[in-house]
Chains A and B, each alone.
Chain A
């Protein structure tokens, strides 16, 4: 018998979960939007500002040394987390969106020309569409779209035929935030490399659920946000291959990213600092390291089992509701259930569920092209984390049934 998570203990690590909302116990099923933070992360933030705060890298005094060490320690932890070859290839950004924009504005601007193709998928979050449209417009490149089938699975035959030697970059998410599909990124990367294209994987929704090995995957670029990985908001990570990062021009100019500045010319700092202009988000980066430690302390298989159990149970319970249809039924899914109900607008469900203390997300989930694909105005999305319980799913389903009665 495999080790199981002790949910009573785990939930105590996340103090926010223990509260009443609108008179009912909070049921937090909006983990795809952002995850909650364990006490160790909250304590680290507090400790940083209470004991260690100073600006990093240039100071010679003790606090500056401590702050620098704390900040850089998270980079080292991320190297292990991603199985990256070196810490130089781990660049701190403010989030997934910032990482994608960085790659578009530096790598894209330097490498795309008229007639080139940037391939995205129909499953993407707006963050992995709009930055490419912007750079495409500037460079004359073209954004093309890998279609998705009825179940929410990318059409790999179409992908293969879209992969011509005009394709310079493939930008896809590892996991769809709107419907939970896990994309076969290993295969997609291999195929893209065969035609000489680089690949950016948006890992915003995958890092909380699987092990990522950037070397085994042969990733060119990988981006994600700390806040979806039980860490603070305002921190993101961009991993890149060394030869790509080294030849990319800097993004923003300023302090930290330079080696020497004079009015006759400026030389840039080395990786990763070349891409970290200005004072970074030191406190949150430091605290993020504790989220990584926390995750590493959990039995990985038990976390997966728990998430799988929640997905299966929620799918089974929701499927029994009349008129409810699950959007996104890919065989490979993370613990996300997106659904619509005949004759009921998702917004009405979201508003009423909140009154029962249940937090889900409704709307287009920043994936309007995907909603358009299924001819939907939006969906209701319940997204789970390992700290959620079956009892919470029962509360959610019961509340949902009450909402439907009120709306009928």
Chain B
């Protein structure tokens, strides 16, 4: 399931040849990110290590972990949108085990993977941390 979503993303980004179009698509994903409840935008939910503020909230709905997130920066929101699409609504075990190969394969890894300050690494780590915490409680 997680891999199926990743493959979809890879296919979608494959439609664009040049970097500007890929970024425009990413920005578009950012704009369409479902809004996060304002009540979850707390200091506790802020992910440290990003140049823009990023909030991440996770909760367990039945067996599944559901994520909500937001950022002040639109490109970061685009990345959040992809991560949520891939990881949200899965079991903690699936999230912990997930190998996020789409990041390298959508053709933007030069930017997305390399820049520590964009917070992608911190975001993935935090999402997995939530999954670990939920699996420990269960």
Contact = CB atoms under 8 A, between A and B. Distances in A.
- Are A and B part of the same complex? yes
Given A345-B74, A348-B75, A351-B111, A406 B24 contact: yes
B118 A351 contact: yes
A295 to B, nearest CB: 32
Interface residues of B, number: 17
A206 interface: no
Given A352-B23, A406-B20, A377 B75 contact: no
A363 to B, nearest CB: 5
A319 interface: no
B76 A347 contact: yes
Contacts of A377: 52-53, 72
Nearest to A405: B24
A406 B22 CA distance: 11
A352 B74 CA distance: 11
Contacts of A351: 75, 111, 115, 118
B20 to A, nearest CB: 7
A45 to B, nearest CB: 27
A363 B27 contact: no
A161 B117 CA distance: 41
B132 to A, nearest CB: 29
B73 interface: yes
A378 interface: yes
B52 A347 contact: yes
Contact of A406 (B23, B72, B117): B23
B76 A355 contact: no
A94 interface: no
A220 B8 CA distance: 64
A225 interface: no
B20 A347 contact: no
A185 B19 CA distance: 47
B109 interface: no
B19 A22 contact: yes
Contacts of A352: 23, 75
B53 to A, nearest CB: 7
Interface string A7-30: 000000000000000100000000
B27 A407 contact: yes
A163 to B, nearest CB: 37
Contacts of A348: 73-75
Contacts of B19: 22, 355
A363 B75 contact: no
Contacts of A345: 52, 72-74
B51 interface: yes
A176 interface: no
A347 B75 contact: yes
A272 B14 CA distance: 62
Interface string A335-360: 00000000011011001100100000
Interface string A396-408: 0000001000110
Interface in B65-114: 72-76, 111
A362 interface: yes
Contacts of B76: 347
B77 to A, nearest CB: 9
Contact of A355 (B23, B27, B52, B53): B23
A316 to B, nearest CB: 27
A401 B117 CA distance: 24
Nearest to B20: A406
Interface in A352-408: 352, 355, 362-363, 377-378, 402, 406-407
A347 B50 CA distance: 10
B51 A363 contact: yes
Interface of B: 19-20, 23-24, 27, 51-53, 72-76, 111, 115, 117-118
Given A345-B74, A352-B23, 20 more contacts: A22-B19, A344-B74, A345-B52, A345-B72, A345-B73, A347-B51, A347-B52, A347-B75, A347-B117, A348-B73, A348-B74, A348-B75, A351-B115, A355-B111, A377-B52, A377-B53, A406-B23, A406-B27, A407-B27, A407-B74
22 contacts: A344-B74, A347-B51, A347-B117, A348-B73, A348-B74, A348-B75, A351-B75, A351-B115, A352-B23, A355-B19, A355-B20, A355-B23, A355-B111, A362-B51, A363-B51, A363-B117, A377-B52, A377-B72, A378-B51, A406-B27, A407-B27, A407-B74
